[in-house]
Each structure stands twice: as C-alpha cells, then as structure tokens.
Amino acid sequence: MDSTGETASLVLTKNLPEEFVSEVRTVNTKEKHFYNLFTIGEPIISDNYSELRPDIARFGIRSVASIPLVAKDRVIGALNVGSYRRDEITDQEREILISIGRELGTTILRMSA
C-alpha cells in the first residue's frame, strides 16, 4: 500500500498476462472489495472471479483468493492467488492461505525493521 493507504500496487506477479497486470497493477483501497481487504482485513475468496470483477473476466481467471498480510493488527499488503482451471477453493485451502497471510505479514514487518 502507499503511504496514505489509498492505493495498493502489485509488487510481484507470476504467470499473468501483461495486459491483465496493467489493468490491476494499482487499485483504490477505498473501493468496496478492496476496502474490505485492506482496511477491515477480510480476505476476498471467490470461486467465481467474474462476479467480483466482470470488467476483467475476459482474462479467464476462474477463482481467486486475496489474503490480507497482517502485522501488528495492521494490514500491510495482500497475497493474491488465482486459478484458470479451478472453480472451488476448499475450506482447508482458505484456512491455510489465511495462516500464510498472517505469517508473511509478520515476516515482512521484521525484515523491514
């Protein structure tokens, strides 16, 4: 996130088309779903990504999990995982991703200190 907390930008991507990345590179954290993710700290987990972002459904991503990276009870970023082939994200996968988000947030904070 930027220093004002109003936008969040991609830092690293893998296996995504450049056209897609250019459309999602920076997001407004005050928009509905992103507000929940970056301000409230709620994960965004969807088995039907086109419902959340119909504007970019043409890229074929079918399921997505955006997990807040939390350090000292503050969201410092997000881990985003998407799939072209699967529709369902299981409860176990959800819990694992949320745990990873907590650990990554703490690790990032320690490394930046």
Nearest in space to 79 (alpha carbons), one of 5, 7, 10, 2: 10
What are the domain boundaries of the chain? Answer: 7-112
Are residues 101 and 65 in contact, defined by beta-carbon separation less than 8 angstroms? no
Strand bridging mode 44-46 / 26-28? unpaired
pLDDT band at 43 (very low <50, low <70, confident <90, very high): very high
Nearest in space to 48 (alpha carbons), one of 15, 10, 13, 83: 83
Q: What is the mean pLDDT of residues 83-95?
A: 86
Which pLDDT score, from 0 to 100, does residue 67 have? 94
Query: Which residue has 């999990």 as its token pair?
Result: 65
Q: What is the mean pLDDT of residues 40-60?
A: 87
Which pLDDT score, from 0 to 100, does residue 37 have? 92
| 92 pLDDT more than 90 | yes
Which pLDDT score, from 0 to 100, does residue 42 have? 93
| 110 pLDDT more than 80 | yes
The CATH homologous superfamily to which domain 7-112 belongs is GAF domain (3.30.450.40)
**What percentage of residues in the chain have a pLDDT greater than 90?**
21
Q: What are the residue ranges of helices labelled H in 1-113?
A: 18-24, 32-35, 49-52, 91-112
